[in-house]
Amino acid sequence: MLSIDSTAVQNQTGQQYLPSTDHTQGVRSPNQELLPLSAKINSHDCLEIGGCDVKTLVEQFGSPLYILDEETLRTACRQYRDAFAQYYPGESLVLYASKAWNCLAVCAIAASEGLGIDVVSGGELYTALQAGVPGNKLYLHGNNKSIAELALAIENNCTIVVDNWLELETLANIADEPIRIMLRLTPGIECHTHEYIRTGHLDSKFGFDPNTLDEVFAFVSQHPTLNCIGLHAHIGSQIFESQPHKDLPGVLVDYLTKAYRYDLPIQELNVGGGLGMRYTESDDPPSIDEWVKGVCEAMVKACEEQQLPLPRLLSEPGRSLIGPACVTAYTLGSYKTIPEIRTYLAVDGGMSDNPRPITYQSVYRAVVANRMSAPLTQTVTLAGKHCESGDILIKNATLPETEPGDVLVVMGTGAYNYSMASNYNRLPRPAAVLVNAGEAELILERETYQDVIRLDRLPKRLV
């Protein structure tokens, strides 16, 4: 068994690039890796993840196939949990932001590592409950929650993160007994990330405007069924800068001092998430440990300056927990060479299983799983199979010579791939397997054509 080599992404001999897993330096932060922590090259020159040969997994389960490495996911959970315990003198709770990938198995793994779950819909809430997560460790977000979603959260003793006036007034009207709420506030902090995933600046659909805080706090204080236990803010996603996250605790503590004037029983401050992950060799996100340390130190300092007791500190990592733990395996099919322009290589999936390239112009990296040591001799554009010119997974991918039937692996697909997957062109959504110690277990079945039409209804007059 060959361990994946050092920090060089592509060596001078032209071998296929591979991320570092230098175990002599201890377990690295998963969000700083391109491939899952368990990735190795076996004696057949094939990529293994979780002790499972990727080519064999495709033969067994088909493709496209999401392959989730349990070791990487659990490592990320533990690094977050343990770092907060180390750097924060008060109580803390890490919540998995499950919108990144919400399914029974992922929720169950996060909960088994002591994490709570952040959900943003009734469907995500129901899934987490069915996975065995207790309601008191579930936090419901959303900028336009329905009455049914609010009722489900109340029924199961969840904390509701209130986003706006309509929701606040609705809860005041429907709550018969005290319910736990947090107030989501817009912190007004800008960060360098895609405009669609910046949520902390003032021009955002999320959260109460800070200029209305006195009015909001007064309203809550006048309604005893609204048990306001905390304040929440979030500045965005896929962030590599450390300073915006270090600035946020001070903003929240300032809001907290104002809330105390209204005798609100606030015990928790939630700094959201947003730590980025490595999608390409040039990405250099902070480690989980570094991110947590900065947030904790900033919160302690802000509380000391205001002479306030330390609140329970919450955070909501999503992408940095689940993203690096999964890859997507495809089977290569047709190709088209346009002389002096480009060569297209087609895979058996595309924008329906990974809509991020066409939606956010996101960049990924890929390897050919059954030719791991073959020299990199061609630059190609990896195209999806959908009837859409923009269905391009990776432009200018550097690969070895390939043949139809080879297995292509796209890295870092755990976050916002399955969760945003669709049936565009009526393609069934892929299967997902959980791999660990040489065992592969199905956690999401592959949809069939029957599944695709299951909710269709054909009026009798058309038969």
Q: Could you list the beta-strand ranges (E) of 158-208.
A: 159-162, 179-184
Q: Write down the pLDDT at residue 205.
A: 80
| Model confidence pLDDT, tens digit, residues 368-402 | 999 999 999 999 999 999 999 999 999 999 999 99
Q: Which residues of the chain have pLDDT under 50?
A: 1-17, 19, 21-24, 191-201
Q: What confidence score (pLDDT) does residue 23 get? A: 45
Amino acid (one-letter) located at 104: L
- Stated pTM of the model: 0.93
Neighbours of 13 (CB within 10 A): 8
Known catalytic residues? Answer: 387
For the chain, the structural domain boundaries read 2-69+325-451, 141-317
What b/e readout covers 431-440, taking b as 16+ CB neighbours within 10 angstroms? Answer: bbbbbbeeeb
Query: Using CA atoms, how far apart are residues 101 and 409, in angstroms rounded to an integer?
Result: 19
> What confidence tens digit (pLDDT) does each residue in 109-138 have?
999 999 999 999 999 999 999 999 999 999
Superfamily of domain 141-317: Alanine racemase (3.20.20.10)
Q: 387 with 302: CB under 8 angstroms? A: no
Work out the burial of residue 301: count CB atoms within 10 Å of its CB; fewer than 13 is exposed, 13-18 middle, 19 or more buried: middle
Element (H, E) at 449: helix 449-452
CA distance linking residue 116 with residue 139, whole number of Å: 8
The SS3 of residue 447 is: coil
Enumerate the H helices of 115-204 as residue ranges: 122-130, 147-155, 165-174
CA 254 – CA 455 distance, rounded (Å): 50
- In CATH terms, 2-69+325-451 corresponds, of 2.40.37.10, 2.60.40.10, 3.40.50.970, 3.30.70.3400, to 2.40.37.10
User: d(Cα 335, Cα 162) in Å, to the nearest integer?
Assistant: 50
Instruction: Determine the straight-line distance between the first and last CA of the chain, rounded to whole angstroms.
Output: 59
* Amino acid 20: pLDDT: 57
Q: Which of 40, 41, 57 is nearest to 373 (CA)?
A: 41
Predicted local distance difference test score (pLDDT) of residue 196 = 34
Q: Quote helix, strand, coil % in the chain, to nearest 5.
A: 30, 25, 45
Give the DSSP letter string of 216-285. Answer: HHHHHHT-TTEEEEEEE----SSB--SHHHHHHHHHHHHHHHHHHTTT----EEE----B----STT--P
